[in-house]
């Protein structure tokens, strides 16, 4: 078996005494766990260690695999320049992985390296591993903004590459958990921090990699998590394998969650291809929603499906509610795929003759013209979940005190710049955050004077 074992580890530089300068004693359980897994890795005698890290080069639409024969790095930025590393890369593995990813239509490769030096997400695991194992190569892989399913698929490619090359590999998924566990921590406190860490450590302990795929982006952002996508690539590398989890420790002493878990490979299990299970469940949910969708959502879905399949706009249906045919309003159409935003386009004020035409126009735009995403393909249509927000007329307000994130959306203006945020969005729980995001969307600087408007919506989903 090419994959010998897998490990989830954190990467706080302060666990190294020369960096921590005594503070490392406050996370002694993490350090002891690190030594234990390093000894386990040494006993496995891998040819190559795959390290996925959030702190390598990161692109929104591409997985960066470190190229070349190797790289070096040190902890100079953490006050310990004498702690340095040289890593030898497994060039053949990288070449095969890049080629396989291209065949599988996964955006991954060795292009775009701006800084070849090792990052601390790689060096912290190496610090412990090097105390017990000397002769090994690594493959260093960054994360991306691509969907979680693409992270899982990349993991599958890693496993397939290891099998093809008959390479003995160990997988190290480097990543901290929430960064918002304490008010006195470096990133402050958010209630979602503890929620995220409780859920993700439960999944670690149970080897429940399906749960890794089900975290909402809103929860991840609010918790300021670091390593989930690293863990998902690991889960893909273990796809179809039965594992025995050994959860070694969890600490949140400094306001950041550190979890350590080891996975022993115990055999094969065709019921553990979690990307397939996840997609099946998401498709089932989308089909169930279609059974109960109202006229607004049905029109949005049928409009986009017809346009993607034929390139044509559908005719306005006859059997629609009178409000849709006789009233004008701004409309936003949002698309989600596997819980992640896939497109959202809308109009603050109506630009067509009625709500029906507004939905048709904006549904097509959300799927084909949102500049943040590639156009929706025909293969994706069955996976999409739609929502339609019909806006009331906006009214000017004098202060943020007149806002309510659950009830009102907000429009923030400065000169010709204008940003809008819908109400009742997951992860937006304060007016301050709502206004801040709307400002950012409009490109309004903090020192610019703003005007505020509020509006209500009727949400159809």
CA-CA distance, 37 to 123, in Å (whole number)? 15
Counting as low any pLDDT under 70, the low residues of the chain are 1
Phi-psi region of 415 (alpha: psi -120 to 50; beta: other; left: phi over 0): left
pLDDT at site 133? 97
pLDDT at site 427? 77
* Cα-to-chain-centroid distance, residue 106: 16
In the chain, helix, strand, coil percent, each to 5?
40, 25, 35
HEC profile of 338-383: CCEEEEEEECCCCCCCCHHHHHHHHHHHHHHCCCCCCCCCHHHHHH
CA distances from residue 215 to 196, 222, 228, 433 in whole angstroms, order as listed:
8, 12, 9, 21
Burial class (CB in 10 A: 0-12, 13-18, 19+), 431: middle
CA-CA distance, 60 to 236, in Å (whole number)? 20
Structural domains of the chain ordered from first start: 3-276 (3.40.830.10), 279-460 (3.30.700.20)
Please, where are the H alpha helices in 175-241? 191-206, 209-212, 217-223, 228-237
* Cα-to-chain-centroid distance, residue 124: 23
pLDDT at site 426? 79
pLDDT at site 109? 96
Burial class (CB in 10 A: 0-12, 13-18, 19+), 435: buried
Give me the numbers of helices (H) and strands (E) for the chain, helices first please.
14, 18
pLDDT at site 1? 58
CA-CA distance, 394 to 413, in Å (whole number)? 12
Rounded (10°) angle between helices 295-310 and 355-368:
50
* Cα-to-chain-centroid distance, residue 444: 26
CA-CA distance, 342 to 379, in Å (whole number)? 14
- Of the candidates 357, 305, 308, the one whose C-alpha atom is nearest the C-alpha of residue 331 is 357
Bridge-based pairing of strands 108-109 and 63-64 is parallel
């Amino acid at each position: 078996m090419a994959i010998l074992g897998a490990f989830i580890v954190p990467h706080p530089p302060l666990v190294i005494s020369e960096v921590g300068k005594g503070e490392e004693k406050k996370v002694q359980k993490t350090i002891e766990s690190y030594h234990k897994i390093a000894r386990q890795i040494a006993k496995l005698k891998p040819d190559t260690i795959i390290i996925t890290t959030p702190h390598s080069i990161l692109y929104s639409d591409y997985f960066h695999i470190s190229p070349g024969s190797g790289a070096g790095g040190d902890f100079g930025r953490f006050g310990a320049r004498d702690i340095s590393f040289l890593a030898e890369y497994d060039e053949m593995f990288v070449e095969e992985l890049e080629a396989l990813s291209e065949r599988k239509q996964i955006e991954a490769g060795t292009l775009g390296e701006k800084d070849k030096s090792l990052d601390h997400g790689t060096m912290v695991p190496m610090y412990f591993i090097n105390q017990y194992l000397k002769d090994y190569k690594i493959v260093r892989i960054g994360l991306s903004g691509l969907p979680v399913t693409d992270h899982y698929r990349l993991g599958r490619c890693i496993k397939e590459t290891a099998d093809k090359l008959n390479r003995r590999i160990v997988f190290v998924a480097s990543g901290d958990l929430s960064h918002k566990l304490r008010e006195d921590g470096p990133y402050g406190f958010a209630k979602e921090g503890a929620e995220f860490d409780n859920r993700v450590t439960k999944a670690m302990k149970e080897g429940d990699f399906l749960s890794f795929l089900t975290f909402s982006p809103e929860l991840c952002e609010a918790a300021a998590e670091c390593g989930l996508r690293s863990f998902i690539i690991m889960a893909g590398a273990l796809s179809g394998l039965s594992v025995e989890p050994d959860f070694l420790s969890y600490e949140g002493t400094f306001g950041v969650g550190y979890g350590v878990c080891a996975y022993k490979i115990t055999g094969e299990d065709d019921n553990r291809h979690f990307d397939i299970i996840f997609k099946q469940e998401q498709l089932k949910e989308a089909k169930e929603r279609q059974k109960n969708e109202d006229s607004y959502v049905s029109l949005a879905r049928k409009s986009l499906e017809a346009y993607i399949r034929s390139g044509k706009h559908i005719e306005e249906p006859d059997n629609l509610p009178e409000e849709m045919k006789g009233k004008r309003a701004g409309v936003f159409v949002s698309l989600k795929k596997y819980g992640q935003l896939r497109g959202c386009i809308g109009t603050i004020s109506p630009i067509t003759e009625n709500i029906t035409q507004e939905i048709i126009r904006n549904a097509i735009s959300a799927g084909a013209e949102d500049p943040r995403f590639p156009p929706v393909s025909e293969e994706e249509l069955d996976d999409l979940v739609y929502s339609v927000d019909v806006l009331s007329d906006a009214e000017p307000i004098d202060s943020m005190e007149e806002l309510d994130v659950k009830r009102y959306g907000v429009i923030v203006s400065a000169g010709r710049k204008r940003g809008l945020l819908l109400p009742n969005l997951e992860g937006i729980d304060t007016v301050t955050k709502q206004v801040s995001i709307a400002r950012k969307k409009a490109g309004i600087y903090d020192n610019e004077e703003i005007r505020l408007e509020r509006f209500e919506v009727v949400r159809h989903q």
